[in-house]
Amino acid sequence: MVAEGVHLLLIHTAGDPRPYINRLRDRGFRFTLIKKRPSSTDRVCFDQVVDWDYQEDLQRTIEIAAGLHRDHPIAGVLSFSESGVIAASLVARHLGLPGNPPRAALRARNKFLMRQTLQQAGLPTPAFHLVHDAAQIHALLRQAGRPMVLKPISGSSSYGVTRLTPEHPESQIAARLEDVRSYILDYRQNNPQYPFEFWLPPAGLGIPPEEVFSPENDFLLEGFIPGQQFSVDGLACGDQITCLGVIEIERIKDAVYFLEYEEWMPTRLGAEKEAEIQAVVTRAVRALGLDRCCFHCEVKLNPEGVFVLEIAARRGADNISDFLLQVMGVDIYEEGLRLACGETRFHPDLQARCSMKMRYFLPPASGTLEAIEGIEVVSRDPRVSELEFEVSPGDAVLTPPEGYEFLGYLSVRGATPAEAEAALEELYPRVHFHIAPAPAPALALR
């Protein structure tokens, strides 16, 4: 039963929601969760939980939400998870509540539609193509005469993203494409408690047939953009766009895959360059038509300008909410809830309060995780902001192309960038993962 207070409906949640849900409950919010196979933690944390795969039947999802709304009026609907943003937008529209336009949410999920929209808005965009088979990809690579990036048309966290060059023979491209397709299918089969990460909606409920695509069959091939990568999280509230600072990203030194390694905030760019990035991000958010939502945008900066890689219609994952709270003083979860309730949220001229740095733990080899050492010692250090793990002893860990997930991450803070850097270099090596090796196939591409 939902208690007194502002009642919010959340579509899916990932990880442990207690840190932010408990904080928001103390501020007067009450929550109902719709999620496939909710955890015991979900059931304790939320006021009401509905066990339902919201992607299975969107019309039924809307009907469930309407029933909840009749029993206890809902003030806002949202999702902090990538896979839930489209369903949340459809439910909000049906209930007559503030929220993202459904097709804007779709453009933020479908990378091909996103590229089309940004190009039509006049933003710098690499050459891009909708592709389905190796022969088509091979011909486009030869025509371009330069490296390109193959991506699943939906998804997040660089899952399945790989770099190709014109020198790769068609047979290797076919093998790589099959690797990505296998990964997508395996992800669905091996994560039954979660919605399908790469899911896209069918036609209907305002989604036209020409905007329906298959995650298993449709891929995006786009020009490789060199340069340093950054991300910007913010708030879309009508024409008012708030960029909540810029985060610098370092990916692994790998010519094929795009696994992320480090993030730090503030960046090393300086105010002028950060303002240039935020101006492009603001144009891109408006072009997609995002409204009443948090957003997470990734860009690359090079001598030719700022290039938008992708925009998500939800808050950034992993360490980002903590970065924003501690460095910029903004609770992105509360901001998202207040936007969903129809409040105006706009925060110009924010200033950094401290420095933070994060580094992922990446699996050195495929195998079975036997133990993690150093957790207690590192977590007690006052400079540690977050020490999170995605795996537990007994879990299988995989390297690309079989898997693209990380083991966890360590996030630290300091009064200055130098202090944060020193803390990370000292504490990160104290966490050790013991992995029993397992035979792994050779990479299809070199």
Report the chain's mean pLDDT, rounded to a whole number.
91
Nearest CA to 421 among 229, 263, 228?
263
CA–CA gap between residue 229 and residue 122 (Å, rounded): 21
For the record, the structure tokens of 274 come out as: 């950060």
CA–CA gap between residue 201 and residue 58 (Å, rounded): 8
Nearest CA to 327 among 421, 229, 412, 231?
412
A 10 A CB-CB count for 393 gives 11
Instruction: Write the single-letter amino acid at 181.
Output: R
Distances (CA, A) of 442 to 175, 176, 252, 401, 406: 12, 12, 19, 9, 20
The pLDDT value given to residue 255 = 57
The pLDDT value given to residue 439 = 59
pLDDT in tens, 31-80: 999 999 999 999 999 999 999 999 999 999 999 999 999 999 999 999 98
Those residues of the chain that have pLDDT short of 50 are 1-3, 440-446
The pLDDT value given to residue 393 = 92
Contact 406, 337 (CB under 8 A): no
Q: Residue 379: which residues within 8 A CB-CB, separation 6 or more?
A: 387
* Element spanning 139, H or E: helix 134-144
The pLDDT value given to residue 441 = 47
Instruction: Write the single-letter amino acid at 202.
Output: P
CA–CA gap between residue 368 and residue 91 (Å, rounded): 41
The pLDDT value given to residue 262 = 92
- 64 phi/psi in degrees, rounded to 5: -60, -45
Q: Identify the structural domains of the chain with CATH numbers, from first to last.
A: 6-97 (3.40.50.20), 127-224 (3.30.1490.20), 226-353 (3.30.470.20), 355-437 (3.30.470.20)
SS3 (DSSP) at 41? helix
CA–CA gap between residue 114 and residue 107 (Å, rounded): 5
Whether the full predicted model's pTM is greater than 0.85, yes or no, is: yes
Contact 58, 84 (CB under 8 A): no
Classify the C-alpha dihedral 239-242-248-249 as positive or negative. negative
Contact 418, 231 (CB under 8 A): no
The pLDDT value given to residue 444 = 41
343-346 contacts, C-beta under 8 A, 24 or more apart = 344/237, 344/238, 344/240, 345/235, 345/237, 345/242, 346/235, 346/237, 346/240, 346/242
SS3 (DSSP) at 160? coil
